[in-house]
Structure 1
């Protein structure tokens, strides 16, 4: 663990000593009342202590202690532990000793409808919002993820409190992530790091199976991997098709420039392979140092997430506070769970219950600044071509509330760590898996 010291040039600001103690004890049990935590702009408890010279101490507009790097970027905000782990809230069944189970809901059965799958651009719907011209059509929400504003950190429980040893290796954590992914409780991108998405997946798995999973028991995890398809890592030979693409040089930020591309394709073989194997691209490169991914015949190490989850989903629950989506079967049992980015303060997600109206695979995206959000200086309607790096990724599940949907993302490593423009944003592979288990008419309940 790195040591931390205040910069001599920075005006001293008193920090509670236990702030850094709890940053170092990231996966200990809930801290006592009156203690504090360091929370990143993405809502995660800081799992390291910055090195000398890396950060300065300051105050934000609300008077809270913050850490900023040398470029002025926010690293972490000091908040009371009780605001991150509230003692009160709706009653939940205990899944682990001292851990609140977020999956205890009243079950209900939804009526099954016929499939309505679209494989082209996202179909338009009639405008229902007052104040727009009659010739305008509601378009799906999309766009880049929104970072959690430092002054509006959520006061909700956003992760179960699961004690994990600090000395787990990257490969041991990778094994845990791969096992959870195989079981249909997505940990998000596989990156060899513990975090909220992994913790929530553990609790979801326990709810589905009724068993207890100890993330510290590496031997047990390895045995479970053996029973579900083998080791977490495997060798993969890059094919000529992998190397050929098609790829684009880069994805511009401006939507007008996106609209000029032939497709919102991957930008490299490495990016494509990372998504294929549910990995963080940086972690794929770490596992294969010095490898040129453009050469066919090259053998690389990748994770083995196994087969996609199968089943018939009749009800979906999107928990805004937990930033997680739960898929239930007709019998009311939890089938799968996915980390998600759900809405923001400026563009909140709906409340209550809606239904899935259409399923669009590999959708194009129509940007309308009068209906959607404002992107850059764009004032005209733009047609953005399909592709995994498009604003809604590879899947669009249109909801009965116009402009809202469940969709993929071009930035899977940000899922569960950022906010969206009101929609439910999943990784492309999780969105695709869910799309194959739902039909038009499936209910989607938003929990505030």
Structure 2
């Protein structure tokens, strides 16, 4: 996505859309403080047979039955996430996001970088012997909402809503544990996610913070990946990313972080758009995880551009934006907590031909 104006009013971040549906541009020096990360559940082995199959999953270079293959991929995704090489949404599916996470892990560990989940990569990952899935008891807070039953696609209808919250407790729980909703449902057949006290099986992806400050962010447009480096040049983390297309490109060159805003408004300004309904007029889209820019906005010194969250985590890395850089909400939150004003942001590579999706 390709431009938005950030206005921070009454302690809340308001983003005014320009050529991208994302955001950027600082009006005031202060942004809302980072909200505390949700407490991770204690990681304990689950008695669920489905969970036990995942925790026992082993690598095989030979074809596996579908259930065993999916269990292996779930275990790999969680372990990569714990190591700060995010596969994006944990879904037990193979694909480019997983391949790129493996490649970044290999780079950080000094291995040949081919992106293949092989015996050598697996042996390093499973040095973490803790369960990768665990039991969790749904709390009153998990089901309290408020929820937004339906998120409209029309911006004028969006602007009429008081917030763009989760649509259901199931969606909220899936995001809390970095999971695809379908995987959460598959691991908990028959569970009612709207009832506090219900015991469910969830992924245990690990801490929400990085082990050191980030001094350089690389946006690799060719690989649809953001990589974060520490002061010593070490690769600290990687994240799948949605970037622009050849028609609506993401910036080139070197820029810097301007500020980080949490729970941003999105100010739709048709005078600054290269898409959308010009007759709608200016609109204030309220905050929430299903806001078009997600739950976090990392403003860049390149005017009207930023790195931000996403309302549909399963699509990150699989579509194109209008120029800005989109991460899952949890990855944007982790990166946002490790950068500061002045952190370098370098754009490398080139976009692929693709149709942009907001």
**Offset from partner CA, 1:266-318 (integer Å, 9 cap, x none):** 00001001111000111111111221110111111110001122321111111
* Residue correspondence of structure 1 range 368-387 to structure 2 within 5 A: 368-376=269-277, 378-387=279-288
Counterpart Cα distance in 1 of 2:191 and 2:274: 40
> TM-score, with normalisation over the residues of structure 1?
0.63
Q: Taking structure 1 as reference, are residues 438 and 119 closer, same or farther at Cα in structure 2, changes over 3 Å only? A: farther
Correspondence 1:121 to 2:13: yes
Correspondence 1:273 to 2:173: yes
Aligned counterpart, 2:138: 238
Aligned counterpart, 1:347: 248
* Residue correspondence of structure 1 range 49-88 to structure 2 within 5 A: none
Q: Taking structure 1 as reference, are residues 219 and 390 closer, same or farther at Cα in structure 2, changes over 3 Å only? A: closer
Correspondence 1:442 to 2:343: yes
Correspondence 1:319 to 2:198: no
Q: Which of 134, 149, 166 is equivalent to 1:249? A: 149
Counterpart Cα distance in 2 of 1:164 and 1:246: 46
Helix, strand or coil at the partner of 1:242:
helix
Aligned counterpart, 1:286: 186
Aligned counterpart, 2:92: 192
Counterpart Cα distance in 2 of 1:382 and 1:241: 31
* Residue correspondence of structure 1 range 86-165 to structure 2 within 5 A: 120-122=12-14, 139=18, 141-142=20-21, 165=62
1:378 Cα deviation from its structure 2 partner: 4.3
Correspondence 1:224 to 2:124: no
* Residue correspondence of structure 1 range 399-410 to structure 2 within 5 A: 399-410=300-311
1:164 Cα deviation from its structure 2 partner: 5.7
Aligned counterpart, 2:262: 361
Q: Which has the higher contact order (CA 8 A, sep 6+)?
A: 2
Counterpart Cα distance in 2 of 1:260 and 1:123: 17
Helix, strand or coil at the partner of 1:194:
coil
Counterpart Cα distance in 1 of 2:62 and 2:339: 38
1:434 Cα deviation from its structure 2 partner: 0.1
Q: Taking structure 1 as reference, are residues 407 and 214 closer, same or farther at Cα in structure 2, changes over 3 Å only? A: closer
Counterpart Cα distance in 2 of 1:359 and 1:323: 21
Counterpart Cα distance in 2 of 1:428 and 1:404: 17
Helix, strand or coil at the partner of 1:272:
helix
The structure number with the bigger radius of gyration is: 1
> TM-score, with normalisation over the residues of structure 2?
0.78
Aligned counterpart, 2:162: 262
1:214 Cα deviation from its structure 2 partner: 7.5
| Number of residues of Structure 1 aligned to a counterpart in Structure 2 | 297
Helix, strand or coil at the partner of 2:189:
coil
Counterpart Cα distance in 1 of 2:254 and 2:123: 40
**Offset from partner CA, 1:341-370 (integer Å, 9 cap, x none):** 111233211111111112111111111111
* Unpaired stretches in structure 2, ≥5 consecutive residues: 1-7, 23-59, 351-358
